[in-house]
Amino acid sequence: DNNENQGRAVSALRACPELRALGRWQDVEAALSDVATADWREMWDLSWAHGDGWQAHCGGGARLADFASWLAARPEKTVAVVCHF
């Protein structure tokens, strides 16, 4: 079972008191904005975070390869990645 990797809906993340208390909340808030999440929010909320597909979304090496490609294409020189594995 993979329950510790089950996510929360974007709306729950936006309302999370612990996230809102972060010193860089404005950056997290921007990353969770409607514009920033437009391409993936619906699938995240309905399936990837906690719906029928979240376990498949969290497992598998293809996801890491997709992330590495996305990260390599970012224009920023410094990127913080927060995760658990």
With a cut of 90, say whether residue 11 has pLDDT above it.
yes
Least confident span in 2-6, 10-14, 65-69, 80-84: 2-6
- State the average pLDDT over residues 11-28: 94
Name the band, by pLDDT with cuts 50, 70 and 90, for residue 65. Answer: confident
Spatial distance between the Cα atoms of 8 and 18, rounded to a whole number of angstroms? 13
Q: How confident is the model at residue 17 (pLDDT cuts 50, 70, 90)?
A: very high
pLDDT value for 2: 56
Q: How many degrees, rounded to 5, is the angle at CA 15 between CA 47 and CA 52?
A: 10
